[in-house]
Amino acid sequence: MKKIICILFLLSFFACSEESYSPKPRGYNRIDLPAQTYQKILDKDFPYQFEVSTSAKIRPDSSKIAEPYWIHIIYPQFKADVQISYKSFTKDKKFLKEFIDDSHKLINKHMIKATGVQESIIKTPSKKTVAVYDLEGEVPSQFQFYVSDSTKHFLRGALYFRTATKNDSLAPVIDFIKKDVIHLLNTLEWN
């Protein structure tokens, strides 16, 4: 019996080591981002033209409220899309104000979950003025914008993800798509 106790004691002594268990730090999914290359959308019937990422697909908006020239720029590998809506109007400034107000209403719908909104005005190389909104927090749309020539064309866009992944984990993808959208805006031309 003493032998068994001594063997168990020795085994327990040698089984212990100085290394103790420590949990692994929380990690994030690895996201491989493709090279950012662009191609011009080729539909000459559209009232606008711009360059889109070659990693994206363009599909017409099929929702019930969709109007002509509304499209989705879909990033299948990220389960994301940029929804583009377009409005044509006459020189009456009332319509432009209405479109801008509608854009602000859509942005304000996210304020319930947003921890912050950063509004920026950027000038494109072709002298277009674009209003850009970065929304922070667990919001459905992290990035929105609108641009107009103030006489005939109004274009609005919003980035959405079809995933439950938290926005802090999606940050590299959000930044990647933002760069694509900025390129889109910098290459925007009215037809």
Give the pLDDT confidence of 137-165 residue by residue, as tens digits.
889 899 999 999 988 999 999 999 988 77
The encoded tokens of residue 177 equal 């798509």
- C-beta separation of 72 from 152 below 8 A: no
Contacts with 148 (C-beta within 8 Å, 6 or more apart), sequence order? 96, 99, 100, 154, 155
Span 45-52, average pLDDT: 94
Q: Could you state, in order of their start, the residue ranges of all structural domains in the chain?
A: 34-190
- C-beta separation of 69 from 47 below 8 A: yes
- C-beta separation of 131 from 145 below 8 A: yes
- C-beta separation of 149 from 190 below 8 A: yes
Give the pLDDT confidence of 128-139 residue by residue, as tens digits.
999 999 999 889
Give the pLDDT confidence of 66-109 residue by residue, as tens digits.
999 999 999 999 999 999 999 999 877 789 999 999 999 999 98
What residue type is 90 in one-letter code? T
pLDDT band at 169; cut points 50, 70, 90: confident
Average pLDDT, the chain: 87
Q: What is the pLDDT, as a whole number, of residue 184? A: 96
The encoded tokens of residue 28 equal 């994030």
pLDDT band at 112; cut points 50, 70, 90: confident
Which range among 10-24, 123-137, 156-170 shows the weakest confidence by mean pLDDT? 10-24
Which range among 99-103, 110-114, 118-122 shows the weakest confidence by mean pLDDT? 110-114
How is the chain split among helix, strand and coil, in percent rounded to 5?
30, 35, 35
Does domain 34-190 match CATH 2.50.20?
Answer: no
What residue type is 59 in one-letter code? R
Half-sphere exposure of 30 toward its Cβ, with a 13 Å CA cutoff?
Answer: 1
Contacts with 89 (C-beta within 8 Å, 6 or more apart), sequence order? 95, 96, 99, 152, 154
Q: What is the pLDDT, as a whole number, of residue 131? A: 97
Q: Whose structure tokens read 């020795």?
A: 10
pLDDT at 10 exceeding the cut of 80: no
pLDDT band at 27; cut points 50, 70, 90: low
Task: Sheet containing 71-75: give its strands across.
Answer: 57-60, 71-75, 80-88, 153-161, 141-148, 129-137, 114-123
Span 42-68, average pLDDT: 92
